[in-house]
Amino acid sequence: MSTIDWVIRGPEISTCNCNWGCPCQFNSLPTHGNCRAGVAMRIDEGHFGDVSLDDVHWAAMFAWPKAIHEGNGEALLILDERAGDAQREALLAILSGETSVPGATMFSVFASTLTKVHEPVVAQILFEADFDNWSGEFSVPGYIDAKAAPITNPMSGEPHRAKVTLPGGFEYREAEFVSSRTRGQGPIPLDWTDGHGHLCMLHMTPHGPVG
C-alpha cells in the first residue's frame, strides 16, 4: 500500500437491494441471493497528502452475483465534475483500496471481491443528507437516483428508528438504518423500492474508520 496520509470525513448514504437491516451487517447471506448497491458521500473535510478534498463528492455503483465475499463483483466509480485533476486522482487512489491497509477499509475489502471495474465516470453528483430527520438523497444524471427515508412502522405509520453499532466495522462505527429507493442505469442497472439503506458520518483513514 501507499504511505501517503489521507483522511475523509462527511455524510455517507448507502443503499442496497436487501431487506431493511442488510444481512451483510451481521455476516449473513444477502436477502435475494445477490447484492446490488449504490453509495455516495460528501467529503466535508479531507485530504490526500497535500491535496485538499474538502467539499468533494463521490459515488459508486456495485453488483455481486452472490454474497459479496464470494466475489465476481463489478463496480463503477463516479467522480465529482467540480474536482480538479489532482483531486480526482486522489479519490481514485482512495476508492480503489490501494492506499488502505489491507482489509481495514470498505474500499480495500470491496476491491478484493471485484473482477470487473468499469472506467470511472466524471459527472455532476447531487447529494443531500438530513441527519435531523434521517433522510437524504443522491443522484448522478444518467446513472443513479437514490433516496433514503426512515423505516415506517406498518401499523402506526410512524418512523421506526434503528441504529447499529459495529465496533470493528470497516465502513462505520455507528449508522442509522433506513429504507431506500434506488434506480440505476448504465453498466450496472439498479432497481428496488423499500430496500436497505443507512446514513452515517463516515470518518476514514488508511487504517479504517475513526471513532
The pLDDT tens digits of the residues spanning 104-116 come to: 999 999 999 999 9
Set of cell numbers at residue 46: 479531507
Find the CATH number of the domain harbouring 122: 2.40.400
Which backbone phi and psi does 102 adopt, to 5 degrees? -50, 125
- Tell me the sheet residues that pair with 9: 45, 203
Number of CB atoms found within 10 A of residue 96's CB: 18
Which range marks the domain in which residue 59 is found? Answer: 6-209
Does a structural domain hold residue 141?
A: yes
**Can you give the pTM of this predicted structure?**
0.95
Question: Total structural domains in the chain?
Answer: 1
Does a structural domain hold residue 81?
A: yes
Could you read off the pLDDT of 142-162 as tens digits, one per residue?
Answer: 999 999 999 999 889 899 999
Does a structural domain hold residue 160?
A: yes
Does a structural domain hold residue 22?
A: yes
Does a structural domain hold residue 1?
A: no
Per-residue confidence (pLDDT) for residue 125, from 0 to 100? 98
CB-based burial label for 106 (10 Å; 0-12, 13-18, 19+): buried
Could you read off the pLDDT of 72-128 as tens digits, one per residue?
Answer: 999 999 999 999 999 999 999 999 999 999 999 999 999 999 999 999 999 999 999
